[in-house]
Structure 1
Amino acid sequence: MHTIIMTGASRGIGRPAAERILRDDPAAHLVLITRGPSGERLAGELAAGLPASGDADGGHSADAARVSHVSADLGSLAEVRSAATTIAGRLDRGELPPLRGFVGNAGIQYTNARTESADGYEATFTVNVLANHVLLRTLMDRFTARSRIVITTSDTHFGDFAHTGGLVPAPVWQAPEVLARTGAFPASDRISGGRRAYSTSKLAAIYLAHEYARRLPAGVDVVTFNPGLVPGTGLTRDADRLSRFAMRWLFPVLNLTPLTNSPSVAGRQLADVALGKVKAPTGSYVSRDRVVPSSDESYDPERERELWEAADRLAGVPVGRAW
C-alpha cells in the first residue's frame, strides 16, 4: 500500500482523475484535501464500490478504507499548513502507508487581480502557487522512492495566440513578493488583470516544479501537467456571467475538435501521469499525454531559485527547518 495526496478532486478534471487513480492503482490510499464539509461526502462517493486494499505491502487491514480526507481552504496558508501537518503526523504514526504521490490539481481564476486571500496575498497566487509550496515543503522529506509529484499547470503560460486563442493575456513576471500582492498587473480591477494573474501563476507553478526537481532526492520526481483548454470545469466559477456561460455551454461544442479537451479525457490523462503511465523525467512538462517543452520563458534557474526563497518567506518557513 502507498499514499497519494490530491487537491482539486471534487470537480472538473479532478473527479475523473481521482476515480481512475483508485481504479487503476488498487494499492493506493487517496488522501483528499478539500474545503469545508464536502470531503466526507466526496470520500464516501469515491470509495463506494471499490475493492478493499490488501495488507501485504504495509501491514494495513485488508478492509481499510482506501479514501480519506483532510479539510483545508487552499486560500488560507494556515489551514493548508494545518492539513499538511495532520497528514505528516498520520504518516509518521503509521496510520497511512508510505507517501508516494501528490497531485496538486486545485486552481482558481478570478475576474480581477485584487482579490485577497485570508493571508492578505493575491488569491490566485495563493491558491495556484503558495498552497502547493506549503504542502510539498511540509511533506518533502516524507516521500519515498518511487514517488511522483504532479502539479496541474496551463498552456496559458506560453502567452501566445497559438496556445490561448487570444482569450488569456500573456504572463508578466515580476518579483514574487510583487506577484503575491494585489494589483500587481495593469487593469488589475478588470477581467484581463485577473486572467493575467492566472497565466502568471501557471508560469510560477512550472518554475516551482523545476526548483523542486533540483532539490528532491533521487526517486522522487516532480512534473507539471497541462490538460489544455477544458470547457465545462469549475475553473471559471468566479468569472463574469458571459464567460461562465461560454465555458459551460458554448466551448463544450469544441470538444468535437482537437482544440479542446473534455473533463473525462483530461482527468484520465492526469491520472495516467500521476501513476507513472506516462514516462516523464523529473522536471518535465506533460501536455495532455506526452512530454513536450514548456515555454522558453519557463526555463530560468535564477527565477526558480528566487521563487522558492520568496515562497518560503511568504509562507513563513523557518530558516533551516521544514517548518
Structure 2
Amino acid sequence: MTVTTAIITGANTGLGFECARALLESDPDRHVLLAVRDIERGAAAAARLGHPGRITVGELDLASLRSVRDFADTVPGLDVPPVTGLVCNAGLQLVTGAQTTADGYEMTWGVNHLGHFALVRQLLDALTVPARIVVVSSGTHDPDKFTGMPAPQYNSPEELLRPPAGGLTGEEGRRRYSTSKLCNMLFSYELDRRLGHGARGITVNAFDPGLMPGSGLARDYGGVQRLAWRLLMPALRMLPNVNSTRRSGANLAALVADPALEGITGTYFEGTRRIRSSRDSYDEARATDLWQVSERLVAEVG
C-alpha cells in the first residue's frame, strides 16, 4: 500500500489526538502530522501515541493568519509521505472576555472558521489526489436539534469579526460558538462546490462528533460549570450522539481513511451516519458571502 500523510489540527489532545491514534493503529502505512500551537505539547502527544517514525509535529497557531501561512509554506518541504488527508479539528469556545486573534478578529470565529479557511486554501496545492478534507462542525449549528446551546445567529460575516461591546457573556459566547459551527458547514459545502464536487480529486465532508464529556471544550467555563461537565456529563453517554473522545476520534478517522467512503463528498456525518444538516447550512448566498469576506481578510495579511 502507498504510505500517505494526514494533517490534523489541534491534535495534541481530545478529538484530534484520538483521531491520530485511530489512524495510526488502523493503518501501518499512515503517517500523521500533528498541527499544534505548542510544539512541546505536540511532542509530548507524539510520545504518548508511540509509533516512532510515523509522526511529525508542526507549529500552527490558527489565531494568527501569518502562522497559518508559515505552516502551509513549510508542508511541501517536510520529509513526510504525500499528504492526502486534512482534518480541520481544532476549536475553542469562550464565554467571557473579549479575546481577539493576532489579526484583531473575535477569537472563536477567528480560530474555528477563519484560521481553518486560510489553512485549507493555502494547502490545496500541497495535497496529493485523491485527497480528503474533513471539517469538524457540531450539531449545535442546527437550531432544530436540542443541544442545550443557543441557536446560531448569522446575518453577515461582518457582524462576527469583532467581540461584542463589553465582551462576551456566557450566552453570547456559546452562541458565537454555535454560529462558528454553522460557518464550518457553509464553508465545507462551498469548498466542495468550488472543487467540482470531487472532480478535482478532493472530497470535502463535515463531521459532528457529538457531545464529548471530557473533551476540554468547556475549559473557559466557570468552576461550577466545569465540575458539572467533568463529573455529570459522562452519565449522559447512554443518550444519542454522546460519545467518548476515543469513539468520536475513530469515527473521524474513518472519514479520512475508510475505503468505503472513497468519493463521498459534500456530506454531513453525525458520527458514522450521513444526515441532513441545518436548513441555513445549505444557503448558497450566505456561503458565497462568507467565502468572499474570508478570502479578503486572508489576502489582507499578505
- TM-score (norm: length of structure 1): 0.86
> Residue 8 of structure 1 corresponds to which residue in structure 2?
10
Indicate which of 130, 153, 156 corresponds to 1:175. Answer: 156
Amino acid in the other structure paired with 2:33: V
Q: Secondary structure at the match of 1:13?
A: helix
- Distance between the aligned counterparts of 1:195 and 1:128, measured in 2? 13
Indicate which of 62, 71, 76 corresponds to 2:64. Answer: 76
Indicate which of 231, 235, 240 corresponds to 1:258. Answer: 240
1:134-189 CA distances to partner (integer Å, 9 max, x unpaired)? Answer: 111111122222111111100001123x331xx211001122122121118xx953
- Equivalenced residues, count: 295
Matches within 5 A, 1:1-150: 1-36=3-38, 37-46=40-49, 48=50, 50=51, 65-90=53-78, 95-112=79-96, 114-150=98-134
Amino acid in the other structure paired with 1:23: E
In structure 1, runs of 5+ residues without a counterpart are 53-64
1:191-250 CA distances to partner (integer Å, 9 max, x unpaired)? Answer: 000000000000000111111101225320010100111111111111222221121111
- Distance between the aligned counterparts of 1:218 and 1:259, measured in 2? 33
- Distance between the aligned counterparts of 1:133 and 1:250, measured in 2? 35
Change in 2 beyond 3 A, CA 1:159/1:242: farther
In structure 2, runs of 5+ residues without a counterpart are none
Contact 1:113–1:122 under 8 Å retained in 2:
no
- Distance between the aligned counterparts of 1:38 and 1:269, measured in 2? 24
**Root-mean-square deviation over aligned CA pairs:** 2.0
Contact 2:72–2:123 under 8 Å retained in 1:
yes
- Distance between the aligned counterparts of 2:130 and 2:23, measured in 1? 16
Greater shift, 128-137 or 193-202, is seen at 128-137
Greater shift, 254-263 or 214-223, is seen at 254-263
1:265-304 CA distances to partner (integer Å, 9 max, x unpaired)? Answer: 1111111112135637211100011111101111011111
Q: Secondary structure at the match of 2:91?
A: coil
Contact 2:241–2:271 under 8 Å retained in 1:
no
Amino acid in the other structure paired with 1:22: L
- Where do 4+ consecutive residues of structure 1 move more than 6 Å? none
The alpha carbon displacement at 1:110 in A equals: 0.3
Contact 1:113–1:193 under 8 Å retained in 2:
no
Indicate which of 138, 141, 146 corresponds to 1:154. Answer: 138
Amino acid in the other structure paired with 1:301: E
Residue identity (%): 39
- The question of 1:298 aligning with 2:281 is answered yes
1:29-54 CA distances to partner (integer Å, 9 max, x unpaired)? Answer: 211111222122222332x2x3x7xx
Change in 2 beyond 3 A, CA 1:268/1:283: same
> Residue 177 of structure 2 corresponds to which residue in structure 1?
198
- Distance between the aligned counterparts of 1:142 and 1:13, measured in 2? 24
Change in 2 beyond 3 A, CA 1:308/1:276: farther
